[in-house]
Amino acid sequence: MEVQDGFALLGRRDEGFLEVLALDVEDGKVLCLFETQELADAFASVSPEVRGQGWRVHVMTTDTLPRLVEQFDYVTVNPSPQVNSGKELIAALGFARSLRREGILGME
């Protein structure tokens, strides 16, 4: 479920800080991750919220991903660019723990 060195995401520089694609939901913030760089790129080319606004594909390595995930309430993998489509939300801390259990991430 991961790209070679991590997960792909969409990000853009905002005042020197990397802003990552996230959704606001009633219960908090959702980090959008993609299984491949190609899926992230395809999302960026068709999503009206992203297209033409400076978003680029980035790969978060499995070393840096836990720190990023902890800043969010949920994670969604391969979200649909359609506004009304349902998105599966995964608790961010549970997502990071499951990666560690599966041995994808080293124990800290």
Residue 107 inside a domain? The answer is no
CATH code for the domain in which residue 28 is found? 3.40.1350.90
Could you tell me if 48 and 14 are in contact, meaning their C-beta atoms sit under 8 angstroms apart? Answer: no
Please give the tally of structural domains in the chain.
Answer: 1
Residue 46 inside a domain? The answer is yes
Sorting pLDDT into bands at 50, 70 and 90, what band is 83? low
Q: pLDDT digits over 23-62, tens only?
A: 999 999 999 999 999 999 999 999 888 888 889 999 887 7
Residue 108 inside a domain? The answer is no
Residue 66 inside a domain? The answer is yes
Angle 58-62-68 from CA coordinates, rounded to 5°: 65
* More confident: 13 or 22: 22
Residue 106 DSSP code: -
pLDDT at res. 34: 94
